[in-house]
Chain A
Amino acid sequence: MSTARRLDPVLLLAAPAVIYLAIVYGLPLLFLLGRSLFGAGGLASFGSFFADPFSWIILGNTLRSAALVTLVCLVIGYPTALVLARAGGLVQAAILVAIILPLSVGVVVKAFAWQIVLRRDGIVSQIMTGIGLWSEPQRLLFTETGLVIGAANIFVPFMILPIYSVLKLVDPRLGEAAATLGASPLYRFFKVALPLSLPGIVTGIAFVFSMAASMYVIPSLVIGDRFQTLATLTGRSFLFMRNEQLGSTTAVVILALTVAIVVASSWLSRRLGGAS
């Protein structure tokens, strides 16, 4: 009893950081939540937010664009993670550089670059007209397609890395064993490789979706004011509209969405990991 109660002195080393984050970050989040639920206006502001048809358009924009970004990231990210896990030497190094370098460059820089690439005279338009897929140059900037391309580019490392971290632990002999036992390549993929990588896929989807649902810089540079999402509305209501009540409400909606996704995915990937 007494040994369990006595504070381990080594733990004191952790105290400054934990106390710091609790005060500067934990408490403010709790206050934000508390005020939006119990403060003046409180729950009523959620009521009026969800009663407004405009809010549903914004929610739709947010969820649809995030879902599309996640889908694109999964389709191009999974094969990349697969190659990264199996390759060695120079190929692996090249893929790793292509993932880590963009990750360490700021989002403003990359969003600015996509502004250039997606213009009517940008590279995408030049390539598409060059190979004859488009009859005339088109502008993807300020379109939802452009937003999805730019956002997928910025978030795809967060899909590749969790899948890679699971795939690199999979024993390659498992596939060989299945082949020796007569399993067809498709059967082997769907019954061996895919189930083993599911925890990584779930984590990747959760990362990308929650980041894409709360992105702010990319939409403001790549698509502009006409396309509002929860995050752009939140930012604008604080920075330009001075409607902090609305901003707090939407901030709490984003927070709830992200926390739900993170919690659900970690539970799911743990279950999937335990099952295999």
Chain B
Amino acid sequence: MTMIEKIAGWLTGILAFVTVVFLMTPLVVTVAVSFGSSAVFTLPAPSWSLRWYEALMRSRDLWPPVFASLKLAVLSTAIALVLGTLCAIGLLRGRFRGREVVVTFLVSPLMLPGLVIGIAMLESFRAAGLRDVWASLILAHVVITLPYVVRTVFASLSLFDFTLIDAARTLGLTYPKAVMKVLVPSLAPAFLTSGMFAFLASMDNYPISIFFTDAWTKTLPIQMLQYVEESPDPTIAAISSLLILLSIGVLVIGDRLVGLRRMADL
């Protein structure tokens, strides 16, 4: 190895290390602040305490949005899993031209700015006379969750060898049984992982939800941002830490199901 190579290798390594630290900084800071005693986010914390978690437990502003967001995320993910999985199977097995175009359209909500999608929906829902907060939120959040399911299940299905189902039937299984024994197990990891990421995307969405929430029904990110702007204190860090814990849980389960490396396939 030449000198230049060694220096370049070291530089790349250092930059990568710095990036990893940089990436983890907001999460570490949030958790550290949530366990600190300081009300003004002093770091390193003067002493450790659980007072912000106690404040969170007593909070009247934060729990209703937590439950609203959980309900919304569960409902919209469930709908997306059903619609998205059927859609992926249909698109992959059906013979037609322009499949690429349809898949691009289905995944495009992930690539377009949420704010613009939100405004477009707001205007159209209004024009259609839809004013119900929950109906609007669910309709909008399925648009957020569906692309995750379609993308991941479609990618996983395209690796699946459908002749295996025929093979199972040759071996004496009925068609539904063959599907249950062969297709479902090999599709399950992608199905569950996409569901988890769709769930998180719905839980965390701000730019689309903001147009459909009102003073009485708020989702968690909306309430959190308002709280940060009006009366910032580490109670927000406590709830953020719980959200980070939720993400860690998803990551651990996802790693078991499909492995970290496949989760990195955008």
Contact = CB atoms under 8 A, between A and B. Distances in A.
Given A83-B16, A157-B23, 14 more contacts: A8-B94, A11-B91, A18-B102, A28-B117, A31-B123, A32-B116, A80-B19, A104-B200, A104-B250, A109-B26, A113-B30, A117-B25, A216-B115, A255-B116
B251 A100 contact: yes
B27 interface: yes
A interface secondary structure, majority: helix
Interface string A82-112: 1110000000111111111110111111101
A76 B15 contact: yes
7 smallest beta-carbon distances between A and B, as pairs: A106-B204, A13-B90, A14-B90, A214-B113, A113-B26, A17-B87, A11-B94
A27 interface: yes
A119 B33 CA distance: 14
B119 A116 contact: no
Contacts, number: 277
Interface string B21-49: 01111110110010000000111000000
A66 to B, nearest CB: 12
B44 to A, nearest CB: 9
B167 interface: no
Given A8-B96, A12-B90, A122-B43, A262 B16 contact: no
B248 A185 contact: no
Interface of A: 8, 10-18, 20-21, 24-29, 31-32, 35, 75-77, 79-80, 82-84, 92-102, 104-110, 112-117, 119, 121-123, 126, 153, 156-158, 160-162, 164-165, 184-186, 189, 210-211, 214, 216-217, 220-221, 231, 234-235, 238-239, 244, 247-248, 251, 254-255, 258-259, 262
A210 B211 contact: no
A11 B263 CA distance: 28
Contacts of A98: 19-20, 23-24
A60 to B, nearest CB: 19
Task: Give the size category of B's interface with A.
Answer: 35 or more
Nearest to A104: B247
Nearest to B249: A104
A24 B210 CA distance: 17
Given A95-B16, A104-B247, A239-B210, A113 B25 contact: yes
B62 interface: no
B4 interface: yes
Contact of B251 (A17, A28, A104): A104
Contacts of A25: 109, 117, 120-121, 143
B133 interface: no
Nearest to A3: B95
Q: Name the residue among A28, A94, A101 with the largest chain B CB count within 10 angstroms.
A: A28
A199 to B, nearest CB: 13
Interface stretch (B52-60, B169-177, B182-190, B236-244): B236-244
Given A102-B23, A112-B240, A234-B119, A216 B228 contact: no
Nearest to B97: A4
Interface string B244-266: 10011011001000001101111
A119 B41 contact: yes
B191 interface: no
Nearest to A16: B83
A91 to B, nearest CB: 9
A234 B27 CA distance: 29
Contact of B16 (A80, A97, A254): A80
Contacts of B159: none
Contacts of B265: 165
Nearest to A20: B83
Nearest to B33: A116
A29 B83 contact: no
A78 to B, nearest CB: 8
A156 B94 contact: no
B112 A258 contact: yes
A165 B266 contact: yes
B203 A96 contact: no
B207 A216 contact: yes
A192 B22 CA distance: 29
B93 interface: yes
A82 B16 CA distance: 9
Q: Name the residue among B12, B119, B150, B251 with the largest chain A CB count within 10 angstroms.
A: B119
